[in-house]
Amino acid sequence: MNRRDYLRSTLGGFAFIGTAGLGSALSAPSSPSAGKTAALSGSAGMASFAGNHNHPAEYELPQLAYSYDALEPHIDAQTMELHHSIHHQSYVNGLNNALAKLAEAREKNDFALVKHWSKEVGFHGAGHFLHAVFWDVMSPDGGGEPEDADLVRAINASFGSFEKFKAHYIAASSAVEASGWGILAWEPFHDRLLVFQAEKHQNLSPMVTVPLLPIDVWEHAYYLRYQNRRGDYVRAFMNVVDWDAVARRFHEARRMLG
Ligand SMILES: [Fe+2]
């Protein structure tokens, strides 16, 4: 696996949840075929630099590796279906539209709206990539604690213990102002783990970190079942975390970027 293959298969083609720095330098649009067929066990539906500068290949909604009702009772089937097929699809559409508008701007050499469309790339791009990782780190067989020795060591070194990490992650995710994400990420320069918040999808986030375990705390992710009890949803999410998938991301990120 080369560096680009790694990024598209494990990071959603985006090393960070934003629009600048290493993330944008390493991101890659998907080819139509790859996005359509990729399941999410290890893939975010990304592919290599297909298309060209005027007609870039479009991103596509990745398929789930499990059914919409597979995460019951922790996350209900209706929420999963709406979340994946409607909300995630809208980010994919928004990203493709923004990229098409920017391609048009280059073609016409008219950048009057570049600020607007760049923000759209940030919002919809981060939304698409984070959701792709989000689906990938959940499993009907999830929950418990990580078993991977390196991940356990990193969690202990960065947070003190798994219990301290869990308390920190739940608190940070529950306290995101308005809509956004709680994120466990790997920071490559000092080889450490961070927990942070991302308002909306892209604000207040450390650049150049690799998301390992993002949790969506937009209301659409939990309101049908949990209403205003976001904390209950966050705690329930811990029961479906696929720690093997998190460990895989951790190892691949360190191998390729460390
Ligand atoms: Fe979402």
Residue 52 lies in a domain: no
Residue 10 lies in a domain: no
CA of 36 to the centre of ligand 1 (A): 20
Residues 6+ apart with CB under 8 A from 222: 75, 79, 230, 233
- CA dist., res. 125 & res. 84, Å (int): 15
Token duo for residue 20: 């600048």
In terms of pLDDT, which residue wins out, 126 or 31? 126
Please state the pTM of the whole predicted model.
0.80
> In total, how many domains does the chain have?
1
Residues 6+ apart with CB under 8 A from 217: 173, 174, 176, 179, 180, 181, 182, 230, 233, 234
Which domain, by its residues, includes 229? 149-257
Residue 223 lies in a domain: yes
Residue 184 lies in a domain: yes
In terms of pLDDT, which residue wins out, 47 or 19? 47
Q: Please state the rounded mean pLDDT for residues 95-120.
A: 96
CA of 215 to the centre of ligand 1 (A): 9
pLDDT value for 38: 31
The DSSP-derived string for 154-196 is HHHHHHSSHHHHHHHHHHHHHT-SSSEEEEEEEETTTTEEEEE
CA of 166 to the centre of ligand 1 (A): 21
Residue 203 forms beta bridges with which residues?
199
Residue 79 lies in a domain: no
Q: What protein residues have CB closer than 5 angstroms to ion ligand 1?
A: 216, 218
Mean pLDDT, the chain, integer: 84
Helix or strand (DSSP H, E) at 180: strand 180-187
Domain holding 178: CATH number?
Answer: 3.55.40.20
Q: Helix (H, G, I), strand (E, B), or coil: what is residue 143?
A: coil
Q: Which of 32-41, 111-120, 131-140, 195-204 is predicted least confidently?
A: 32-41
CA of 131 to the centre of ligand 1 (A): 6
- CA 193 vs CA 41, 117, 163, 250: distances in Å: 22, 32, 15, 10
Token duo for residue 180: 């956004």
Q: Please state the rounded mean pLDDT for residues 51-62.
A: 76
Residue 6 lies in a domain: no
pLDDT value for 36: 29
Q: Please state the rounded mean pLDDT for residues 170-185.
A: 97
pLDDT value for 5: 57
pLDDT value for 70: 98
Confidence of residue 121 (pLDDT cuts 50, 70, 90): very high
Q: Please state the rounded mean pLDDT for residues 239-256.
A: 97
- CA dist., res. 225 & res. 132, Å (int): 22
Residues 6+ apart with CB under 8 A from 85: 61
Nearest to 12 by CA among 98, 183, 133, 124: 133
Residue 156 lies in a domain: yes
Omega into 29 within 30° of 0, i.e. cis? no
pLDDT value for 57: 77
pLDDT value for 86: 98
CA of 135 to the centre of ligand 1 (A): 10
What is the residue whose two structure tokens read 């007609």?
Answer: 55
CA of 83 to the centre of ligand 1 (A): 6
pLDDT value for 149: 98
Sheet holding 180-187, edge to edge: 192-199, 180-187, 210-216
pLDDT value for 53: 60
Residue 23 lies in a domain: no
